[in-house]
Amino acid sequence: MDMKPFENFDWTNFWNDSDYAKKAYIGKAPTDEEISEIEKELGYKLPQSYIELIKKHNGGIPVLRVFLTDDYEINITGIFGIDRTKCHSLCGELGSAFMISEWGYPNIGIAVADTISGGHDMIFLDYRACGKDGEPKVVVVDQESDYHIGVLADTFEDFIKGLTIDATEMENEDFALLDENQKCLAIKFLQEIQEEERVIELLNYVGIENLSAELMGMLARSYNNNNQENEAMRIMDMIPEEERKAVWYYRYGYSYASRCFPHNSEADNLKALEMFEKAIEKAEEGKVIEWCMELVEFHLLSGALEKNKSQTPLVYEHYKKYKNEDVTPEAPANDQQHKYNNLFDVNWIFDKHDYSAEEFEAKFNEKMAQRLGENWRETECNAPIEEAEILVTYEAWIESLEQLYDNECLTDDYEELLEEEKEDGMWQVDIRAHLKADNGKSFSVQEIVWKLQKLMANKELGDHVFFEGIDYEGSSSDYTAHEVPMFYVVCGS
C-alpha cells in the first residue's frame, strides 16, 4: 500500500505562527472546491503533498527555513497557501502571476515560496518535464543570474522534509529552547558546513547530561573532526550500551585510527579494526561499511588488517571487495596496463627530505611493513616494472623553472609561463620526467618511489602528498629517441 503524503511526519513545532505570518501568509482552511478553483486559475494540478500541507496549515512561515544541496543554500521566508486574501499566496497580490508578469520570472509552473532575497530568487514548482497534471520538481529561479533554474528536490514533499535550521547566528540560549528534532537539524546543518567548534560549544552549553544518545553521537563526531579523539571517546562511553548502533562503533574506530595518525601504535590499529568489525556486524545499510573501508584505506590500516584478518574477518572481506571495486581503476588505458604494477598498494607520503639511498630504504621498508606486513617484498605488490626507462608525469607548484631537474620538462600544455599567471607566487604545472633504471633493465618498486621522492622534494605539492599509484597512459617518443611507456603519478590528500 502506498503511503499518504507526509504520513508519520511530525508537524509539531514546524510552523512559526507570528503576527506577521498570520497577516501575510496563513489563510483559512481550504475546501476542496477552493482548491479546484485555484488549480483552474493557475492551469496546473497541485501536488497531492502540497494539498495535504495546506489542509493542515494553509501557508505560513516555517521554523525550519533552510534547504541545502551540494550546489545551493536556500533561505526561504514563507510557503504560499491558497487564500487569495493573503498577499503571499499562490493567487495573492504577490503570488505566482505577479512574479511572472511583473518580475519576469519564466512561466515554468507555480511560484510556491519566497526567500530572504526579497524577490530576487523564488521557489517554483517546475512542470516543464511532467506536464500540467504531473508531479513537478521543486526548483530555485535566480532572477539576478538571468533567471537560472536549479533543481532542489524531486517532489514538494521532499522539499518540505529537507528544510532545516540555520544555526550559524543562533544564540546558545535559543538553541537550548529547541526541541530534540530541531536541535538535531541545527547540529546537522552546522556539521554540513564544518562548524565543529560551534557544535561543541552549543552541545556543551545544553549540558552533556541533558543530551540524547543521538546528540551525544553528534558531539562525538565533532570532537573527532576537530582532532579531539580522546574527548570523542569520553562522550561515546556515556552512551548506554543498548543504544550503541553501527555508527557508534564506526566513530569509536575513527577515534582509535586518528588520534595518533600517522604514528599509530599496533594496539590502536587493532582496536580500530575491532570497532569496524563490530560496526559491520551491526550495519543495516551499506554506507557505514563504506565509511569503515574508507578509514582503513586513508589511515593505512591494510597492513594491520593483513596481520589480524583472523580476528576481523568481516573487515578483511569487505576491504578486499572495496579494493577490487572502488580503488582499482574502472578500466585500464589499454591491454598494456595489465603488464605493469600500478603501485596502488604502496604506502608513501611525499615530503621535503632529500633521502640518501640507505635512509630511503629504511624509511620505505618501515612504511610498507605498516601496510602489508614484514614480508611485503615477497608479495605481488613488489613486482618490478620490466622497462629500462619510463616517462612519469606529476602535478606540482613551482616558483621558477630552475626547480626542474635536467631530466624534467613541462608537458606540452604550457607554451609560456607568465608572471601574472602565478597564484601566491607559484605556477601550477604538470611536469614530465625521464627515468632510467639503475640496472638498465627494470625498476623495483622502491627505486621508482625513491626517484619520485627526489624529484618532488624541491617542489610544492599542496596537500596532495599521499602516493596512490601510477596510471599507464600509453607510450611516446616525443621526449626520447624511441617509444617509452608513460605513467601519471596519482597523489591524494
pLDDT recorded at residue 156: 97
pLDDT recorded at residue 106: 96
Q: Is the pLDDT of residue 60 over 70?
A: yes
**Which has the higher per-residue pLDDT, 296 or 416?**
296
At residue 330 the predicted structure's pLDDT band, cuts being 50, 70 and 90, is very low
Given phi > 0 = left and psi -120 to 50 = alpha, else beta, which region is 23? alpha
pLDDT recorded at residue 327: 41
Q: Is the dihedral of CA 375, 378, 381, 382 positive or negative?
A: positive
Q: How far is CA 181 from the centre of its chain?
A: 23
At residue 332 the predicted structure's pLDDT band, cuts being 50, 70 and 90, is very low
Residue identified by cell 593505512 is 300
Over residues 48-70, mean pLDDT: 92
| DSSP bridge partners of 101 | none
**How far apart are the C-alpha atoms of 238 and 217, rounded to whole Å?**
10
Q: Is the pLDDT of residue 174 over 90?
A: no
Please compute Rg for the chain using Cα positions.
Answer: 29
pLDDT recorded at residue 339: 66
At residue 122 the predicted structure's pLDDT band, cuts being 50, 70 and 90, is very high
pLDDT recorded at residue 2: 67
The 10s digit of each residue's pLDDT in 402-418 is 999 999 999 877 767 88
At residue 456 the predicted structure's pLDDT band, cuts being 50, 70 and 90, is very high
**Total residue count of the chain as it appears in this document:** 493
pLDDT recorded at residue 424: 84
**How far apart are the C-alpha atoms of 289 and 277, rounded to whole Å?**
9
Query: Average pLDDT over the chain, rounded to whole?
Result: 90
- Do the Cβ atoms of 123 and 151 come closer than 8 Å? no
Question: Which of 18-32, 286-300, 403-417, 472-486 is most confident?
Answer: 18-32
At residue 341 the predicted structure's pLDDT band, cuts being 50, 70 and 90, is confident
Over residues 20-27, mean pLDDT: 96
**How far apart are the C-alpha atoms of 460 and 323, rounded to whole Å?**
29
Q: Is the pLDDT of residue 469 over 90?
A: no
pLDDT recorded at residue 415: 67
Over residues 83-107, mean pLDDT: 95
At residue 303 the predicted structure's pLDDT band, cuts being 50, 70 and 90, is confident
Which residues have CB under 8 Å from 191's CB, separation 6+? 199, 218, 221, 222, 225
Q: Is the pLDDT of residue 169 over 90?
A: no
- The edge-to-edge listing of strands for the beta sheet with 121-126 is 66-68, 73-79, 109-115, 121-126, 137-142, 148-153
pTM, entire model: 0.52
- Do the Cβ atoms of 444 and 382 come closer than 8 Å? yes
At residue 50 the predicted structure's pLDDT band, cuts being 50, 70 and 90, is very high
**How far apart are the C-alpha atoms of 209 and 333, rounded to whole Å?**
57
Lowest mean pLDDT among 324-328, 345-349, 360-364: 324-328
| pLDDT over 70 percentage in the chain | 96
